Amino acid sequence: MTPEEILQGLYDETLVGNGPRVLELTHEALGLGMEPQSLLFDALIPSLEEVGARFERGDFFVPEMLIAGRAMAGSMEVLRPLLAETGVQTIGTFLMGTVKGDVHDIGKNLVNIMLEGAGFEVIDLGVQVAPEKFVEKIQEHQPDIVGFSAFLTTTMPMFKANMNALQKAGIRDDVIVMVGGAPVTQEYADAVGADGYAPDASATVKRAKELLEQKRALVSA
Ligand code: B1M
């Protein structure tokens, strides 16, 4: 198969949720020396975008969305070590979780991989993370940054609930707060009082580094 055929195959087989074939094609692509980033950005992510569009149109239902998501997650497990390959020293600690009521984690996991690749130590709390759990884990791990992911308009308000919980526990100013997820915008991040927002995984790395540098400069001033 040519690289173009493999990318098309990855797109098509993710769309129909054919996990074993997606895995095979992933290995085949890597065997041909194709870039892991290309598999992600030229096939897997566009395919899930199409899944979302079909869901919105009523052509796909939750089971189709679920198997497509699983197919992509299987490929990401293979790509993870390659994307996160890094020789750099740990530059900071990032505590990450999907908010309460929300089970989406593919995007969050991708952000984690990119952060690890950039030298962050990532502590992933998983999905459906309650405000109290964020507070408990911040107190336990003392991360530089905490990240809240939300993928539904109905779970975005949990950002504010998390911020209130941090405030109530007296730890709001101890940690940089970043938010993100498909429906989130810079305006929404500002409205809930987050320190940073990023629309995708690579922008998260860039913004996280900037925020960390700003904080460290303030502390040492
Ligand atoms: Co759901 N779902 N889903 N879903 N799902 C969406 C999100 C939706 C947009 C589909 C659509 O209608 N077009 C829609 C949300 C609409 C809305 O509220 N605006 C939706 C819906 C409605 C639902 C249910 C309510 C469906 C139902 O039950 N009727 C339900 C909710 C369940 C719940 O959470 N309580 C549901 C369930 C599911 C599945 C379980 C079946 C499955 C999730 C599997 C999983 O994650 N393990 C699923 C899937 C697969 C999707 C779509 C198709 C794909 C999501 C994805 O992985 N995208 C999605 C449609 C879409 O997004 N186009 C959809 C790829 C991923 C790489 O992108 O997630 O955006 P993304 O992550 C990006 C950025 O957001 C950003 O970086 C990531 C990487 O670049 N980012 C951050 C993420 N976190 C960040 C944190 C940061 C910074 C950046 O800082 C901290």
| Residue pLDDT, tens place only, 12-52 | 999 999 999 999 999 999 999 999 999 999 999 999 999 98
3-85: CATH homologous superfamily? Methionine synthase domain (1.10.1240.10)
Q: Do domains 3-85 and 92-220 have the same CATH topology?
A: no
d(CA 190, CA 197): 8
For a mutational test of ligand 1's pocket, the pick from 120, 146, 151, i.e. the residue with the most ligand atoms closer than 8 A to its C-beta, is 151
Q: Which amino acid is at 27?
A: H
92-220: CATH homologous superfamily? Cobalamin-binding domain (3.40.50.280)
Domain boundaries of the chain, sorted by first residue: 3-85, 92-220
> Which two three-digit tokens encode residue 218?
């303030």
Q: What percent of the chain has pLDDT over 90?
A: 82
pTM of the shown model: 0.92
d(CA 166, CA 144): 14
d(CA 137, CA 135): 6
Determine whether the shortest distance from the Cβ of 6 to ligand 1 is under 6 A.
Answer: no
Least confident segment among 107-111, 117-121, 188-192: 117-121
Q: Across all residues in the chain, what is the average pLDDT?
A: 94
d(CA 149, CA 98): 5
Determine whether the shortest distance from the Cβ of 40 to ligand 1 is under 6 A.
Answer: no
Determine whether the shortest distance from the Cβ of 183 to ligand 1 is under 6 A.
Answer: yes
> Which two three-digit tokens encode residue 134?
């964020």
Question: End-to-end alpha-carbon separation of the chain, Å?
Answer: 57
d(CA 219, CA 138): 19
Q: How far is the CA of 150 from the centre of ligand 1 (A)?
A: 8
Q: What are 157-183's pLDDT values in tens digits?
A: 999 999 999 999 999 999 999 999 999
CB atoms within 10 A of CB 62: 8
CB atoms within 10 A of CB 60: 18
